Amino acid sequence: MILVGLIVFGCSKSEDKEVPKAKDISPTINTSVERMSIKCRDISSISINIKEQGWRISKLDIENTNIARFFSVRGEICEIVGLKKGTTNLIIQATDSQKVIEKKIEIDVIAVGAEKITLKEKIFVPLGKEKSIEFSVTPEDFSEDVVWTSNNENIATVSNGNVKGKASGDCIISVSIGSLKAECVVTVKDIIKLKSFPEKWSNLKYETDEHFKYMGNIFKDQVVNLELESSSNNVDINWEVPNTEFISINNNKLTGIKTTETPISIKGTNSNGGYVEIQILSVRNLEDLIKLDRSTATFFTDSGVFKELRSSFSNETGEKIKVISLEVIDAYTNTSLTTIEYNTFDTDVEYSTNRMPLTTSLFLIYKWKYSYNDKIYYKTITSY
């Protein structure tokens, strides 16, 4: 009996102990992923929400915005773009206005490696100027750093693919992306060209060595001002003229001396090694490039048939030729009938007589007077 009572008493004491209270349980920030892996320049999305009543997402932040940044946030969907290889965290905070809870999502931004670099094997860069090297990379969305170097910065320097010519010569420009490397031979030279040239001339640029060549005709006594420019601003040119019997160059002025149909090649070089070529195809007489014409116009009217005698002057030189006047002469009597003053640089000038009966017998000499560089010239043509 004593034993039973003790057991009962013991049980009774045990039931009187205080039951511990349950600990507070924080709500959960729900995310669609626990870690994000994004390629550079790619966009990845994450879904974020909190279900507990009274709670809301109060803050979104990225620890290092040089590595990744927000692209957009729409409702529960957050889009993040990778910027640079590295690791950072997305910070998510939620609140019920009294408490704040936080969750971190690791963002790992992965670099996209280059697989192939395509680069020109050789380019020319004008001395003293800059030129961009065109290149392509496969894949196009690579994200590794691009490193440019020059093996001789006395010849050319390079920055972000822009090459600047420092001195005449050759050097190698290299571009490296990760473990890949490509090279380009850069030739720096002075580029010389004419600022302007006669409109009848043509010009070529030779891609093999980037020099200019000009070709055209001149006429005897024509003076062509060879106004030059160079990439280094060195226009002190030494001219090589193989035959000064037909042309000459003094103080960068080219002059036609004597007519010839044999082409003459001229070369001008400066101390930097730059050069320009001029090929004179022929030296002709000025008169050969002035074209005169004559015609008769017939008019049928109620009062009879009439005619006008006409003459025209055409300048085919491409140069400024001043048309001074036209003297109209009676060819039968060699008498001057009239002189018309023009004093114009128009390339085409026309003259016509007054209307006269078709049966009028009149034979005219048209004597055109013109000038070039203050030298006077005459050329004549007769009517029909």
Q: HSE (CB half, 13 Å, CA atoms) of 11?
A: 5
Q: Exposed, middle or buried by CB within 10 Å (0-12, 13-18, 19+), for 313?
A: buried
Residue 139's pLDDT is: 86
Residue 102's pLDDT is: 96
Which token pair is 237? 């040119």
DSSP 8-state class, residue 287 = G
Residue 8's pLDDT is: 37
Residue 142's pLDDT is: 83
Which token pair is 255? 């002059």
Give every CB contact of residue 335 below 8 A, 6+ residues apart in sequence. 329
Please, which residues bridge with residue 344 across strands?
Answer: 323
Determine how many CB atoms are found less than 10 A away from the CB of residue 327.
16
Helices (H), 19-120: none
DSSP string, 93-132: EEE-SS-EEEEEEEEEEEPPPP-EEEE-SEEEEEBT-EEE
The rounded distance, in Å, linking the Cα atoms of 220 and 317 is 11
Burial 128-153 (b: 16+ CB within 10 A, else e): beebebebebeeeebbbeeebebebe
Residue 21's pLDDT is: 52
Percentages (nearest 5) of helix, strand, coil residues in the chain: 5, 60, 35
Model-level pTM?
0.63
| The total number of residues written for the chain in this structure | 384
**pLDDT of the chain along its 384 residues, tens only?**
333 333 333 444 444 555 555 456 789 999 999 999 998 888 999 999 999 999 999 999 999 999 999 999 999 999 999 998 899 999 999 999 999 999 999 999 998 888 899 999 999 999 999 999 999 999 887 888 899 999 999 999 999 999 999 999 999 999 999 889 999 999 999 999 999 999 889 999 887 778 999 999 999 999 999 999 999 999 999 999 998 999 999 999 999 999 999 999 999 999 998 999 999 999 999 999 999 999 999 999 999 999 999 999 999 998 999 999 999 999 999 999 999 999 999 999 999 999 999 999 999 999 999 999 899 999 999 998
Please, which residues bridge with residue 193 across strands?
Answer: 229
> Among candidates 369, 368, 363, which has minimal Cα distance to 383?
363
Residue 20's pLDDT is: 53
The rounded distance, in Å, linking the Cα atoms of 246 and 37 is 78
Please, which residues bridge with residue 91 across strands?
Answer: 61, 104
Which token pair is 236? 């002190």
Please, which residues bridge with residue 219 across strands?
Answer: 284
Q: Which amino acid is at 154?
A: N
Q: HSE (CB half, 13 Å, CA atoms) of 6?
A: 3
**Could you tell me whether strands 122-126 and 364-372 are parallel, antiparallel, or unpaired per DSSP bridges?**
unpaired
The answer to whether 285 and 332 are in contact (CB under 8 A) is no
**Could you tell me whether strands 192-194 and 253-256 are parallel, antiparallel, or unpaired per DSSP bridges?**
unpaired
The answer to whether 167 and 125 are in contact (CB under 8 A) is no
Determine how many CB atoms are found less than 10 A away from the CB of residue 364.
19
